[in-house]
């Protein structure tokens, strides 16, 4: 979750609600809230980035208490931008909007900066997928051009002298932090007087936003067209709800932002299938209105800032939230089943448990850092993963077992864990992994466990010395079962133990079964 901090007094003024009611409602819609250090600290789930700006929270609170869903008007001010060639290699998509009549003070500037950074970190994947720029419109001369960078120079934010693009990457704090996103393929946004933005790195000092700024240009660039347009809608509607006017920017003949409500058809059968007969059409309509939708007959109109609504099941989730989870009566499932071992695996579990190992279950997704040193025959990556910790299908069971040891290291030693599960090795593969942790966790101990397993399994076992970065040199062997290489075993290296914050020796084995 991402955390946003807002001024409780300002929230009370904007909503007309008490602090207690604000905390209650935000918590009811799935955003746990508490008062801390004079602010309301709101934990916002990744699927609701529209709540990062304070105005988004205010809008959600008012809707929940019966307020009417706002409709947004986008005016045509004749603003234009041209997207040039060469941007496809870095950030192929750009969308812009103009905002007029902004009323900035110290608190609202902080809120705008918080909104920008939270969107960068979540939807934007640390600016890799989406980056946002806010500019003083009055310092800009249209038309704009979005183009590949070719040695341009400008004065970046918080600097007093011109710098080249590569110089910014080497010397400016933001350039150093995000150089990996732009080093090999640069893009810039230019007006008639030069560069106003170097996405996703830094804006120009010339278009800096301060308390005197009344009119804004919003630019959003990125690698996902859907995400870029969604983020622009979130920012534009937040300013509109604060009383500003929104003007479109025409980019290659298409006007943005598009702030119309999106229509979806209501499916009563699907609602009943998921939520039961307690939620009829009348209750569902009331619940959706509380969540900010417009409902007309069988038509459901999704707000333009709800980038998380992809299919009707997302709408059903909002129906459940608006109806109130506490209003559902707990019931036992109507399809009772009897659990059983997966065919062919019961003997393995019996053998491992018989040797005193406890079964563990780790996530099937991991990341390159934890999988460092494991055999790599073409890792399967998750496209647009919501977390850097879970972006790769695991190629070994050992990191998950070491993570289990880390979690349980205060529970007493020695410990023994095993897992029977799938990994990716150029294709899905079933493996058995097991380990020992504690002062007595040596090669001889894990070898004994492997020999016992092989005997009970009825397999011929042989070992051959091998080097593996995860294991101590000279204490690692490849495992051969019935004459075929099946895995590896040995004592885990101190470097790997340090990665998992383990202070005791670990011996591990992983084999195909």
Query: What are the domain boundaries of the chain?
Result: 2-64, 74-254, 262-326, 346-512
pLDDT 10s digits, 12-49: 999 999 999 999 999 999 999 999 989 999 999 989 99
Q: Which fold has domain 74-254?
A: Phenylalanyl-tRNA Synthetase; Chain B, domain 3 (3.50.40)
Class of domain 262-326: alpha beta
pTM of the model: 0.71
**What pLDDT digit, counting tens, does each position of 440-498 carry?**
789 999 999 999 999 988 889 999 999 998 999 999 999 999 989 999 999 999 999 99
Question: What's the token pair of residue 314?
Answer: 């997302």
Q: Quick check: 313 pLDDT over 80?
A: yes
Q: What is residue 427's predicted lDDT score, i.e. its pLDDT?
A: 84
Can you name the CATH fold of 346-512? Answer: BirA Bifunctional Protein; domain 2 (3.30.930)
Let me know if domain 2-64 sits in CATH 3.20.20.300.
no
pLDDT at 318 over 90: yes
pLDDT at 343 > cutoff 60: no
pLDDT digits (tens, 9 = 90+) for 207-248: 999 999 999 999 999 999 999 999 999 999 999 999 999 999
pLDDT at 405: 93
Question: How much of the chain, in percent, has pLDDT values that exceed 90?
Answer: 76
**Beta-bridge partner residues of 219:** 96, 133
| 341: pLDDT strictly greater than 60 | no
pLDDT at 412: 85
With a pLDDT cut of 70, the percent of the chain lying above it is 98
* Cα torsion 259, 264, 268, 273: sign: negative
Domains 2-64 and 346-512 share a fold: no
Let me know the angle formed at the C-alpha of 385 by 379 and 386, rounded to the nearest 5 degrees: 150
pLDDT tens by residue, 257-282: 999 999 999 999 999 999 988 899 99
Assess whether the previous peptide bond of 257 is cis (omega < 30° from 0). yes
Q: Are 175 and 186 in contact (CB under 8 A)?
A: no
Task: Give the pLDDT confidence score for residue 370 in this predicted structure.
Answer: 81
Question: Is residue 395's pLDDT more than 60?
Answer: yes
3-state secondary structure of 313: helix
Strands (E), 84-214: 93-100, 130-136, 144-148, 153-154, 163-164, 187-191, 194-198, 202-203
């Amino acid at each position: 979750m991402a955390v946003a901090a807002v001024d409780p007094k300002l929230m009370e003024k904007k909503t007309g609600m008490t602090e207690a009611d604000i905390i209650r409602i935000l918590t009811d819609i799935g955003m746990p809230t508490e008062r801390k250090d004079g602010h309301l600290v709101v934990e916002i789930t990744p699927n609701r980035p529209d709540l990062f700006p304070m105005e988004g929270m205010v809008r959600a609170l008012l809707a929940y208490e019966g307020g009417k869903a706002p409709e947004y008007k986008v005016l045509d001010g004749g603003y234009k931008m041209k997207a040039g060639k060469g941007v496809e290699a870095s950030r192929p998509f750009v969308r812009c909007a103009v905002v007029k009549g902004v009323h900035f003070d110290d608190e609202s500037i902080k809120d705008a900066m918080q909104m920008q950074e939270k969107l960068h970190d979540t939807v934007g994947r640390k600016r890799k997928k989406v980056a946002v720029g806010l500019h003083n419109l009055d310092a800009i001369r249209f038309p704009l051009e979005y183009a590949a960078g070719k040695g341009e120079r400008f004065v970046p934010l918080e600097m007093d002298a011109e710098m080249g693009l590569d110089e910014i990457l080497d010397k400016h704090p933001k350039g150093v932090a995000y150089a990996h996103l732009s080093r090999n393929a640069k893009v810039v946004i230019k007006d008639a007087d030069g560069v106003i933005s170097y996405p996703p790195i830094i804006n120009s000092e010339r278009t800096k936003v301060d308390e005197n700024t009344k009119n804004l240009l919003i630019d959003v660039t990125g690698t996902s067209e859907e995400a870029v347009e969604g983020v622009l809608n979130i920012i534009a509607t937040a300013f509109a709800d604060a009383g500003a006017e929104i003007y479109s920017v025409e980019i290659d003949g298409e006007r943005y932002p598009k702030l119309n409500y999106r229509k979806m058809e209501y499916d009563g059968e699907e609602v009943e299938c998921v939520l039961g007969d307690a939620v009829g059409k009348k209750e569902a309509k009331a619940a959706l209105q509380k969540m900010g939708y417009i409902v007309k007959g069988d038509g459901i109109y999704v707000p333009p800032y709800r980038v998380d609504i992809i299919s009707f099941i997302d709408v059903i989730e909002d129906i459940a939230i608006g109806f109130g989870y506490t209003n559902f009566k707990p019931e036992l499932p109507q399809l009772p089943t009897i659990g059983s071992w997966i065919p062919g695996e019961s003997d393995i579990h019996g053998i491992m448990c018989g040797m005193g190992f406890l079964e563990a279950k780790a996530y099937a997704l991991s990341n390159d850092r934890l999988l460092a040193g494991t055999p790599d025959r073409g890792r399967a990556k998750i496209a647009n993963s919501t977390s850097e910790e879970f972006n790769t299908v695991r190629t070994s069971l050992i990191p998950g077992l070491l993570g289990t040891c880390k979690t349980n290291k205060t529970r007493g030693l020695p410990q023994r864990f095993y897992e029977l599960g799938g990994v990716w090795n150029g294709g899905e593969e079933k493996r058995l992994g097991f380990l020992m942790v504690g002062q007595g966790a040596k090669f001889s101990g894990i070898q004994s466990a492997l020999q016992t397993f092989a005997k009970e399994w009825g397999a011929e076992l042989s070992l051959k010395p091998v080097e593996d970065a995860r294991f101590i040199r000279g204490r690692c062997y490849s495992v051969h079962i019935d004459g075929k290489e099946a895995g590896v075993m040995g004592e885990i290296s101190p470097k790997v133990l340090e990665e998992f914050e383990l202070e005791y020796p670990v011996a591990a084995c992983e084999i195909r079964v």
